[in-house]
Amino acid sequence: MPELPEVETVRRGLAGLLTGRWIRAVAVLEPRLRWPVDPALSGHLTGRRVLALERRSKFLLVRLDRGGLILHLGMSGTLRVVSPGAPLLPHDHVRLGLGEAASGPVTRELRYNDPRRFGSVHWTDGPFEAHRLLEGIGPEPFDAVFDGAYLHRRARGSRRPVKNFLMDTDVVAGVGNIYATEALFAAGIRPDRKAGRISRARYARLAAAVREVLAAAIAQGGTTLRDFTDSSGRPGYFRVSLRAYGRHGSPCDRCGRPLVLTRIANRATVFCRNCQR
């Protein structure tokens, strides 16, 4: 599933293919995504030029010469760039025909595919950060303000489990179940510990762990980053080396005792009873 590192990998892979091109045609084959696709999408996008690809949390942002596209891949979404005549696949929902100039032929096509339709596609006229999906999102994990002091301050008085706290998009952007599990394992913090009962020093470890696990995953994505065109078919979501997530029953790589599975806020949570306190 596309987590923050995967979205960043997609952004890097698509940037060179989209930047500078013109959107020459738009087709919405299935508007029933997580939120209905704006019926006026085609009118907003046709004739626009792509200026840059950006990312905020797990949202991919396509900056245009007027306004921009906000894409979320949900948990099964993919984007690929294909020849205009390439056969459609099941669950191809949105097609953007791209050209090299403001007029002339469509030379490439960006296709948004999402079997589960948990993702979404939005157009915005204003600044990205003012869009209702993006306003109120906490700092990016790699932003300088995201540190132990910040987490400690935000958690003050909170009695919910630190894993919930870490997955709260208002607290920090883009940390989902997998990387919350991994970061807590790396930091040696029990996921069910009350957020307000963790020291600033331990939060400093946690902030560093969040950055480390995300950076490592992005680096691994980078190594598998090929082109996002016909030949690769799909921007395959790389396998990252996970130390805790999905490894319940297997030995902890630090102490050898079996990792345990529990549920916190109805989410699968794996941790080591010995190494995480």
Q: Is 153 in the site for DNA (CB under 7 A)?
A: no
Residues recognised as catalytic: 2-3, 58, 267
Nearest to 117 by CA among 77, 147, 81, 151: 77
CB of 230 to DNA, least distance (A): 21
The amino acid present at 116, given as its one-letter code, is: R
CB of 169 to DNA, least distance (A): 5
| Residues 2 to 61 in contact with DNA, rule: CB under 7 A | 3, 32, 34, 57-59
Rule CB under 7 A: choose which of 102, 219, 255, 265 binds DNA: 265
CB of 167 to DNA, least distance (A): 7
Q: Is 276 in the site for DNA (CB under 7 A)?
A: no
- Name the β-bridge partners of 92: 113
Long-range contacts: 239-246, Cβ < 8 Å, 24+? 240/5, 240/216, 241/216, 242/178, 242/182, 243/182, 243/185, 243/186, 244/181, 244/182, 244/184, 244/185, 244/270, 244/271, 244/272, 245/177, 245/178, 245/181, 245/182, 245/270, 246/270
State the DSSP H helix or E strand holding residue 189, giving kind and residue range, or none if neither: none
Rule CB under 7 A: choose which of 13, 77, 97, 161 binds DNA: 161
Which three-class secondary structure string do you get for 85-118? Answer: CCCCCCCEEEEEEEECCCCCCEEEEEEEECCCCC
Rule CB under 7 A: choose which of 68, 174, 221, 235 binds DNA: 174
Rule CB under 7 A: choose which of 133, 208, 215, 260 binds DNA: 133
Q: Where are the beta strands (DSSP E) in 41-177?
A: 50-56, 59-64, 68-72, 78-82, 92-99, 106-113, 120-124
Rule CB under 7 A: choose which of 148, 176, 191, 235 binds DNA: 176
Rule CB under 7 A: choose which of 46, 107, 164, 220 binds DNA: 164
Largest Cα span, the chain: 64
- Name the β-bridge partners of 56: 59
Size of the site for DNA (CB under 7 A): 38
Task: Please choose, out of 63-71, 138-146, 152-160, 224-232, the segment that lies near DNA by the rule CB under 7 A.
Answer: 152-160
Q: How far apart are the first and last CA of the chain?
A: 29
Task: Please choose, out of 142-150, 160-168, 212-220, 233-241, the segment that lies near DNA by the rule CB under 7 A.
Answer: 160-168
Rule CB under 7 A: choose which of 20, 88, 105, 116 binds DNA: 116
State the residue for tokens 């995480």. 276
CB of 105 to DNA, least distance (A): 33
Residues in the site for DNA, rule: CB under 7 A?
1, 3, 32, 34, 57-59, 72, 74-76, 90-91, 115-118, 132-133, 157-161, 164, 167, 169, 174, 176-178, 195-196, 245, 265-268
